[in-house]
Amino acid sequence: MTSFSFDTYLNAIQKNLKKGSERSHYPALKNLLDDPDNDIDAVIEEKGNKSGIPDFTVRQRELTLGYVEAKDVGTDLDRTETSEQLQRYREAFSNLILTNYLEFRWYVDGECRLSEILADTDGNLLSSPASEKIASLLEQFLNYTGEIATHPEDLARQMARLTKAIRLAVTTALASEIKGGELHLLKQGFNEILLPDLNDADFADMYAQTISYGLFAARVGHARTPGTDTFTRRTAGTYIPATNPFLKRLFNTVVETDAASQIDWAIDDLVQLLSRVDMASILENFGRQTRQQDPVVHFYETFLAAYNAALRKSRGVYYTPEPVVSFIVRSVDSILKNRFDLPLGLADTAKDPATQQPRVQILDPATGTGTFLYEVVNQIYRNLEDIGMANQWDNYVEENLLDRLFGFELLMAPYAIAHLKLGLQLQELGYKFEKKQRLGVYLTNTLDEAMKKSEILFGQFVAQEANEASEIKRDAPVMVILGNPPYSGHSANKSEWIAGLVRDYYYVDGKPLGEKNPKWLQDDYVKFIRFGQWRIDRTGCGIMAFVTNHGYLDNPTFRGMRQSLERTFDEIYLLDLHGNSKKKEVSPDGSPDKNVFDIQQGVAVAIMVKYTN
């Protein structure tokens, strides 16, 4: 137990009161908290070298115990408690003390757990019980270890909190850095290649998610590597799977910059969380196969809801129920078998006689956490089982799967999760990643076709990833396009390339629609349907299978779109799932018409088939 010398502490406070600034009391508070016998050290943070961090970091050897934010003597902590700074600190730091040197408030996960007053504003000790209560408060603060996550959802919430801390640190560091600094150059790389309208806040978000999911992927790799040393920030990059070379390069670049020294405290907090996690238990849940839920998807959804719910809405990110995914994948598989003379369906290895490329190339252009690709792999494995070839899975994946299974994703977190999820799935089914083979999931904007280049080192990594994806978009004869593209009426995708393609939907029989406000044709899901239509048209034949907003089925604004799709595809199958609470839809018996998604907009499954040019 730590022994606190309150008399010495208050004497030091009284001597410093005339000096007039809160920093003059820092040594007194440090001496109160320091405990050399137990290796406890309250580090006074130099704000010029750190970003978005409270005044003190309390450590025990290499372990961070908590943080302390100190305001000047006499400061009204009720007012401070509601300030923007304290709101951010309480959200980001699970173990935090706020003090004006005489009053101490201890917060756990943002909630005030204890509050005690040691002395009056003249520095007079109120009573012996007061010092005992403060001693108890400080002792609990120093001994608090937090909850060790054993379930993916618990870990997701804790990761979300620490990712917010990293985002806050990056935002603060970016604001204080000169325009040509490392963080600004990193931001410029993303601006040039992926997100032209990326602002400082969005960059801080992407940076934080790169760190967070880079460390998460590394921790999974670490847990699956026997005989490894303690998991640390310095060695993390070596454990990011080779199947995701972009994330590996990106993570190492980010953590090795000088700018990272300003936020290393936030990174170390996340490393500390992940190092304490029972990753075997987490991975066991990740690998669980059920028909009702996908733990990996729930992990990401829980993370996103706790981290930034608005991002989910702006990008139209919603979990696709597994029965819907299964129905679409099984339908595509059946059509390939029965209509295209491909007896193994999605597992078929037939090649085009002219190009010698695989016929059944598969793309999810808005892959998210890889839910559709995951089910595609399961269906392929079942098809091989049916003909007694499941024992050849290792050779099959290397020779007949990795070169024809693709996914595109714009957001860092789901991109990293999709890689992790598919890599684990392939291994659990029997594939051994012995070569440096990457999975065909790319961080890219599907709706932007332009090839990119960058003179910035960091930008070169992003450009290489985007350009490899562009080659697939443009040249790979993709035969199957499936998934759940985002729904967002106020689309954040402003690419001229996709805008040019969507213009076809503004005409009927060669004449303009004549709509006063055809804005719904700019919804993201419309753009993804147009992309899929364009790609299947270039291939010459194939299947597009999406679950989307159902507004295009009967709204007059979409009559040009409907005509265009009818001209491209030979067969169109539509399953309207309804569930539109905005239209107050009800079931035939009058009962509530529930949506398969947790949204107000009704949805529909569309499967469109093109046989030949």
Give the pLDDT confidence of 366-381 residue by residue, as tens digits. 998 899 999 999 999 9
pLDDT at 82 (0 to 100): 92
CA 602 vs. chain centroid, Å, equals 26
Place of tokens 């204080």: 176
- Average pLDDT for residues 434-438, to the nearest whole number? 77
| 420 pLDDT higher than 90 | no
Q: How far apart are CA 116 and CA 98, in angstroms?
A: 11
Check pLDDT > 90 for residue 442.
yes
Backbone angles phi, psi at 22, to 5 degrees: -65, -30
What's the whole-number mean pLDDT along residues 326-338? 97
Is it the case that residue 454 has pLDDT exceeding 70?
no
Report the range out of 23-32, 288-297, 478-487 with the highest average pLDDT: 478-487
| Dihedral angle of Cα 62, 64, 65, 66, to the nearest 10 degrees | 150
Please give the residue that has the higher pLDDT: either 583 or 157.
Answer: 157
> Could you read off the pLDDT of 152-204 as tens digits, one per residue?
778 888 888 888 888 888 888 888 888 888 888 888 888 888 777 788 888 88
pLDDT at 122: 63
Q: Starting from the edge strand earliest in sequence, which strands make up the sheet with 480-483, in order?
A: 441-443, 405-409, 362-364, 480-483, 542-549, 603-610, 571-578
More confidently predicted of 303 and 583: 303
CB atoms within 10 A of CB 309: 10
What confidence category does residue 300 fall into, taking pLDDT thresholds of 50, 70 and 90? confident
> 526: which residues sit within 8 A by CB, 6+ positions away?
502, 505, 520, 552, 558, 561
Coil vs helix vs strand at 181: coil
- State the pLDDT confidence band at 266, using cuts at 50, 70 and 90: confident
551 or 376: which carries more pLDDT confidence?
376
Asked whether residue 93 carries a pLDDT value surpassing 90, the answer given is: no
Bridge partners of residue 546, in order along the sequence? 483, 606
User: Strands, E, within 167-321: which ranges?
Assistant: none
> Which 8-state DSSP code applies to residue 148?
P
Q: How many residues does the chain have?
A: 613
DSSP letters for 476-532: S---EEEE-----SS-S---HHHHHHHGGGGEETTEE---S--GGGGSHHHHHHHHH
Out of 140-154, 255-269, 290-304, which region has the weakest mean confidence (pLDDT)? 290-304
454 or 190: which carries more pLDDT confidence?
190
> pTM score > 0.85 for this model?
no
Q: Mean of the per-residue pLDDT values for the chain?
A: 85
Local structure of residue 545 (DSSP, 8 states): E
Tens digit of each residue's pLDDT (9 = 90 or more) over 504-535: 999 999 999 888 778 889 899 999 999 999 99
Distance CA 522, CA 365 (A): 17
| pLDDT bucket at 567, cuts 50 / 70 / 90 | very high
Are the beta carbons of 187 and 157 closer than 8 angstroms?
no
Q: At residue 344, does pLDDT exceed 70?
A: yes
Three-state secondary-structure class, residue 353: coil
pLDDT of residue 316: 47
Collapsed DSSP state (helix, strand, coil) of residue 114? strand
Q: Above pLDDT 90, what percent of the chain?
A: 38
Q: What radius of gyration do the chain's Cα atoms show? A: 28
Mean pLDDT, to the nearest integer, of 1-15? 81
- The domain ranges of the chain are 6-143, 152-311, 314-451+479-610
Chain centroid to Cα 89, Å, comes to 22
**Residues 568/533, Cβ–Cβ less than 8 Å:** yes
| 314-451+479-610 CATH pick, 3.30.70.1070, 3.30.390.30, 3.40.50.150, 1.10.274.10 | 3.40.50.150
Tell me which of 287 and 529 has the higher pLDDT.
529
The answer to whether residue 289 scores a pLDDT higher than 50 is: no
Q: Buried b / exposed e across 185-210, counting CB within 10 Å, b at 16+? A: bbbbbbbbbbbeebeeeebbbbbbbb
Helix, strand or coil, per DSSP, at residue 301: helix
Q: Residue 390: exposed, middle, or buried by beta-carbon count in 10 A (0-12, 13-18, 19+)?
A: middle
Q: Which residues of 477-509 are buried (b: 16+ CB within 10 A; e: fewer)?
A: bbbbbbbbbbbbeebbbebeebeebbebbbeee
Bridge-based pairing of strands 95-99 and 111-117 is unpaired
Exposed e or buried b for every residue in 243-256, given b needs 16+ CB within 10 A?
A: bbbbbbbbbbbbbe
Cα distance from N-terminal residue to C-terminal residue, the chain: 80
Checking if the pLDDT of 488 tops 90, the result is no
What pLDDT is recorded for position 50?
67
**Angle at 240 (CA atoms; ends 236, 245), nearest 5 degrees:** 130
Say what percent of the chain tops pLDDT 70: 87
Q: Look at residue 317 in the predicted model and tell me its pLDDT.
A: 54
Please state, in angstroms and rounded to a whole number, the distance separating the CA atoms of residues 318 and 527: 17
Q: What's residue 146's pLDDT?
A: 74
Highest mean pLDDT: which of 222-236, 287-301, 415-429? 415-429
Q: Check: CB of residue 462 under 8 Å from CB of residue 526.
A: no
